Amino acid sequence: MDPITNPYTPNAGSKPPELAGRGKQLRQFEVLIGRLSAGLTEQSMIIRGLRGVGKTVLLNAFEDIAESAGFITFYHELTPESSLIAQVARDAESTLAQLKLTSRVAARLRDSLAHLKTIRIASPEGFELAVDLRGGDEGQVSADLAHLLVQIGKAAQEQGRGVVLLIDDVQFAAELEYRALISALHRATQKSLPVTLAAAGLPQIPRLTGEARSYAERLFDFPTLDSLAHDDAAAALASPARQHEVSYTPEAVQRAITWTGGYPFFIQQLGKHAWNLAGQSPIDLDAIEDAMPVAREALDRSIYEVRLQRATETERRYMKAMAELGTGPYRSGDVARKLGKGTGGVSKIRQRLLDKGLVYATEDFGYIDFTVPRFDDFMRRRNDIGA
Ligand SMILES: Nc1ncnc2c1ncn2[C@@H]1O[C@H](COP(=O)(O)OP(=O)(O)OP(=O)(O)O)[C@@H](O)[C@H]1O
Ligand SMILES: [Mg+2]
């Protein structure tokens, strides 16, 4: 059928025509925003999930909800180079600019920020903020940030607004900065101010310790996004087509669900190719089966190859050894043995793969798994890498 009208969205962060199976999380976020608007407090969310399950898309939907309620929103996708605190400081600047404060309120705010040590007012007027984390220890950073968040929270609240920070790929946050932000948010929440954070990241989000950990347990819920359940996966596939009066045969839907395992990214990719290859509606089993190898090739190129390229030869061999053990999670000791080494001999390689976000440590101590669904299958198909 016509590729020009193809409704599927197999691209990172692309809003799907049907955001299937996420009603619970959307409702939870609506309640949060409603309660913050009413001067009440509520837990926000730190969402965990593998690559391609729909974390970014969900954060974007949260952003729409917050904006409809008059909140000022900021979305950041972190990289290993990002400074979380510097980004939050820029968001604070931008919030204050958007609030169009009276000169009296602005002067009061400038005074109240003047004594901070790690986040300083850097301009003779206005709210340009300079961040220098070397100016204090973690306690100081978090106290300064708390002060800043409380001030912007108050200024927003006075105007019937609020602020939502949406942080994507939060696994890349530096632990100190992340802990400081959580502690600072705790302060704003204690004062019932409409400032909150919703974050998403790989299962391995930074570990929180000490006070930040106990605050986080009260401030956040930690839902895990997973592949879609049967009916939601069927809706993710069929509903975008239905909007164009195109249907699927039941056998086609069933085959597609099995092939994709309900992973949103796989559904978008398979749906796209099935649509392009199908002659007419309904899209049948033949069209799905024709689309499978094409979709697999597209997945190889879009999510697997790029990740493999980020790994060195030794890291690739380590991942190949994982894959050859079957499906994960994998015990680190077993991987080492497969490579003919002791655990100590390969622990640096393992750590580099964790840092690159290619694997993550599962809840069970000593186990790791791939961050991309079915990466093991891809690695087993790669005969050019020797384990
Ligand atoms: N609930 C959903 N229903 C249907 N399609 C979805 C859903 N969520 C996400 N998608 C689709 O799945 C793909 C992946 O979504 P997204 O980029 O949000 O995943 P992600 O978890 O952020 O991945 P990554 O960890 O690589 O950043 C996109 O093509 C998107 O259109
Ligand atoms: Mg994402």
Q: What is the pLDDT of residues 223-263, one digit of tens each?
A: 999 999 999 999 999 999 999 999 999 999 999 999 999 99
Provide mean pLDDT across the span 180-209.
90
Q: Are 166 and 75 in contact (CB under 8 A)?
A: yes
- The continuous run of DSSP H or E covering 377 comes out as helix 375-381
- The reported pLDDT for the residue numbered 367 is 93
**Which residue CA neighbors atom 9 of ligand 1 most closely?**
54
- The reported pLDDT for the residue numbered 363 is 83
354 to each of 27, 48, 245, 386, how far by Cα in Å? 33, 16, 45, 21
Q: Which of 122-136, 249-263, 299-313 has the highest mean pLDDT?
A: 249-263
Pick the ligand that lies closest to the CA of residue 357: 1
Closest atom of ligand 1 to CA, residue 50: 25
* Tokens 């600019």 belong to residue: 97
Higher per-residue confidence, 353 vs 366: 353
Q: Is the pLDDT of residue 135 over 80?
A: no
Output 113-121 pairs: Cβ under 8 A, ≥24 positions apart: 113/147, 113/148, 113/151, 116/144, 116/147, 116/148, 117/144, 118/85, 118/144, 118/145, 119/85, 119/89, 119/144, 119/145, 119/148
Q: Is the pLDDT of residue 206 over 80?
A: no
Residue 360, classed as helix, strand or coil, is strand
Residue 387, classed as helix, strand or coil, is coil
Report how far residue 301's alpha carbon sits from residue 338's, in angstroms, rounded to the nearest whole number: 28
Q: Are 187 and 141 in contact (CB under 8 A)?
A: no
Q: Is the pLDDT of residue 201 over 70?
A: yes
Provide mean pLDDT across the span 98-126.
87
Enter the pTM of the model.
0.94
Q: Is the pLDDT of residue 114 over 90?
A: no
Closest atom of ligand 1 to CA, residue 53: 21
Q: Helix and strand tally (H, E) in the chain? A: 16, 10
Q: Is the pLDDT of residue 311 over 90?
A: yes
- The reported pLDDT for the residue numbered 200 is 96
Q: What percent of the chain has pLDDT over 90?
A: 77
Report how far residue 375's alpha carbon sits from residue 387's, in angstroms, rounded to the nearest whole number: 15
What's the mean per-residue pLDDT of the chain?
Answer: 93
Closest atom of ligand 1 to CA, residue 21: 1
Q: What is the dihedral of CA 223, 227, 231, 232, to 10 degrees?
A: 60
Provide mean pLDDT across the span 131-146.
87
Q: How far, in whole angstroms, is CA 362 from its chain's centroid?
A: 17
Least confident of 125-129, 297-301, 365-369: 125-129
In angstroms, what is the span from residue 267 Cα to ligand 1's centroid?
10
Q: Are 152 and 95 in contact (CB under 8 A)?
A: yes
Q: Is the pLDDT of residue 100 over 80?
A: yes
Pick the ligand that lies closest to the CA of residue 47: 1
Spatial neighbors of 359 by CB under 8 A, at least 6 apart, are 319, 322, 350, 353, 368, 369, 370, 371
Pick the ligand that lies closest to the CA of residue 372: 1
Q: How confident is the model at residue 123 (pLDDT cuts 50, 70, 90)?
A: confident
- Check if 54 has its Cβ closer than 6 Å to any atom of ligand 1: yes
Q: How confident is the model at residue 8 (pLDDT cuts 50, 70, 90)?
A: very high
pLDDT tens column, 72-86:
999 999 998 999 999
Q: How confident is the model at residue 372 (pLDDT cuts 50, 70, 90)?
A: very high
Closest atom of ligand 1 to CA, residue 15: 31
Helical residues (DSSP H) of 285-371, grouped into ranges: 285-299, 306-309, 313-324, 332-338, 343-355
- The reported pLDDT for the residue numbered 290 is 98
Q: What percent of the chain has pLDDT over 70?
A: 100
Which of 57, 168, 171 for mutating ligand 1's site (highest number of atoms within 8 Å of CB)?
57
Q: Is the pLDDT of residue 131 over 70?
A: yes
- The reported pLDDT for the residue numbered 301 is 93
In angstroms, what is the span from residue 81 Cα to ligand 2's centroid?
17
Pick the ligand that lies closest to the CA of residue 76: 2
- The reported pLDDT for the residue numbered 3 is 97
In angstroms, what is the span from residue 261 Cα to ligand 1's centroid?
14
- The reported pLDDT for the residue numbered 308 is 93
Higher per-residue confidence, 69 vs 134: 69
Provide mean pLDDT across the span 121-142.
84
Q: How confident is the model at residue 387 (pLDDT cuts 50, 70, 90)?
A: low
Higher per-residue confidence, 132 vs 69: 69
Q: How confident is the model at residue 63 (pLDDT cuts 50, 70, 90)?
A: very high
pLDDT tens column, 145-184:
999 999 999 999 999 999 999 999 999 899 889 999 999 9
> What are 367's two structure tokens?
């186990």
- The reported pLDDT for the residue numbered 60 is 98
- Check if 314 has its Cβ closer than 6 Å to any atom of ligand 1: no
**Which residue CA neighbors atom 15 of ligand 1 most closely?**
54
Residue 365, classed as helix, strand or coil, is coil
